Amino acid sequence: MQESRLSLKFLLMAATFIAGLLSFAEAEEKLAPELVREAASVSAGYLADQIEDDGAFCYVLNLDPTVNSDKKYNILRHCGAIYSLAMYYTLQPSDTLLERIERSGNFLKKECLLPLPGRDDLLAIWSRPEINHSQNVLQAKLGGTGLGLIALLSIEKIKPGYTSLDDLRRLGSFLVFMQKEDGSFFSKYIPSQGGLYDKWHSLYYPGEAILALLMLYEKDPSEIWFDTALKGLLYISKTQDGSKDLTVDHWFLLAAGKFFSLKNRTVLPQDYKEIVDHTIAICGLILKQQIKEPTNPLYYGGFSEVGYTTQTAIRLEGLQSALFFLPDKDGSTEEIKNSVEKGIGFLLRSQLKQGRFKGAIPRAISTIPEENEQAINFNRLAKEVRIDYVQHALSAMVQYLERKDR
């Protein structure tokens, strides 16, 4: 009798699971641009509402009021949030949103935009301990200046003259200064430790710097910006060619998408092939990671076995950038497009649809069962909302809408 009850229980669980997958499949068929447009609107609204009077963001909160959030700040994620809001503004301009974007940009320039000691020709975005509420020493991160330049150039597109061309060039010159002869980059500049710092490396900083240089090239077509970016792209492509340690570097994909959008530039066939081949390799890795047989139906279409949202959003950003330039051989890009549909559906299910925090994207789509040994730590942060969680999801949704509107 007990075995019968257990069998019935498992049959009911299986039926519920399958019904969940079917409902998500039906939802995907109905994933109209209007649904994504509404989701992008409320996430942009949420992010804009987090900008305080001084231009800083309310960086993190937890939907569970019993959990205290870390009070640290991250100026890189501040810049990323500006970038996504400016992307959204190009779809749906408004005076209110522009004012909020400018306010956050003003904070960035006032608090973090400073020259290197003894080098007035080089500007950087500095991670200041008093701003980041950190015990780390004063430092300029490659990714911080890359994202800062991206943010300021994004504002420049919607409000020309916001930042002087001289300042933009000085930021670009810092990125050039940080590049090594082989095309790789120093990740940090730390005055108290001698300046150029090579004891720590970031996966994402080079791609962020390369994208910034290519955006600067659009604004100021100087060969140094383009050549430094190309050198960086080729270094990443060649050093990971055939590597067993291939990584999902969505900033590389975003930079490559910008690179191939520069129609007035000719690229050597071998250079083109190196970058495209590396893009194909990263996209192939991403596609293998998509969750199609989840342990929880909520995870379907995401790229995390436990429902992390940003893990999905950044992969969608990269895949959609690759769609811009990848050659469609035998319908190969259709697999990417289908993957994006599923992934966007996952993000829409993750989003808060009502209440005070409408439009927020939490760290994970759901908590995990209490019997899981990781449950206490995981569930404590599952409902955390940080500005970069929302930023990456918003960027992915805007890319989706731009592609549909073409």
Residue 163: give its domain's CATH number. 1.50.10.10
The confidence score (pLDDT) of residue 30 equals: 58
The confidence score (pLDDT) of residue 13 equals: 35
How many CA atoms lie within 13 Å of 30's alpha carbon, on the beta-carbon side?
8
The answer to whether position 153 is within a domain reads yes
Residue 62's nearest CA partner among 362, 394, 391 is 362
The number of folded domains in the chain is 1
The answer to whether position 192 is within a domain reads yes
The confidence score (pLDDT) of residue 243 equals: 66
Q: End-to-end CA distance of the chain, in Å?
A: 61
pTM of the shown model: 0.91
The answer to whether position 6 is within a domain reads no
Residue 357's nearest CA partner among 394, 393, 383 is 383
Residue 169's nearest CA partner among 204, 126, 219 is 219
Write out the two tokens for 235. Answer: 């270094």
Radius of gyration of the chain (CA): 22
**Strand-strand pairing, 188-190 and 60-62:** unpaired
The answer to whether position 10 is within a domain reads no
Query: What DSSP line would sit under 351-390, residue for residue?
Result: S--SSTTTT---SBSS---TTSTTHHHHHHHHTEEEHHHH
The answer to whether position 299 is within a domain reads yes
The answer to whether position 30 is within a domain reads no
Q: At how many degrees (to 10) do helices 223-239 and 269-289 cross?
A: 50
User: What is the C-alpha to C-alpha distance for residues 31 and 341, in angstroms, rounded to an integer?
Assistant: 8
The confidence score (pLDDT) of residue 295 equals: 87
The burial class, CB within 10 Å (0-12 / 13-18 / 19+), for 281 is middle
The confidence score (pLDDT) of residue 9 equals: 34
Greatest C-alpha distance within the chain: 82
The answer to whether position 138 is within a domain reads yes
How many CA atoms lie within 13 Å of 77's alpha carbon, on the beta-carbon side?
21
Which residues touch 247 (CB under 8 Å, ≥6 apart)?
203, 240, 282
User: What is the C-alpha to C-alpha distance for residues 32 and 179, in angstroms, rounded to an integer?
Assistant: 43
User: What is the C-alpha to C-alpha distance for residues 345 and 30, in angstroms, rounded to an integer?
Assistant: 10
The answer to whether position 19 is within a domain reads no
Backbone angles phi, psi at 57, to 5 degrees: -90, 150
Segments forming the whole domain that contains residue 98 = 44-405
Query: What DSSP line would sit under 44-81, residue for residue?
Result: HHHHHHTB-TTS-B--EEESSTTSPPP----HHHHHHH
Residue 380's nearest CA partner among 367, 399, 394, 398 is 367
Residue-level pLDDT, tens digit, the chain, 406 residues: 334 333 433 333 333 333 344 445 444 545 788 999 999 999 999 999 999 999 999 999 999 988 988 889 999 999 999 999 999 999 999 999 999 999 999 999 999 999 999 999 999 999 999 999 999 999 999 999 999 999 999 999 999 999 999 999 999 999 999 999 999 999 999 999 999 999 999 999 999 999 999 999 999 999 999 999 999 999 999 998 666 779 999 999 999 999 999 977 778 889 999 999 999 999 999 999 999 999 899 999 999 999 999 999 999 999 999 999 998 776 779 999 999 999 999 999 999 999 999 999 999 999 999 888 889 999 999 999 999 999 999 999 999 999 988 7
Which residues touch 286 (CB under 8 Å, ≥6 apart)?
248, 303, 315, 318, 319, 339
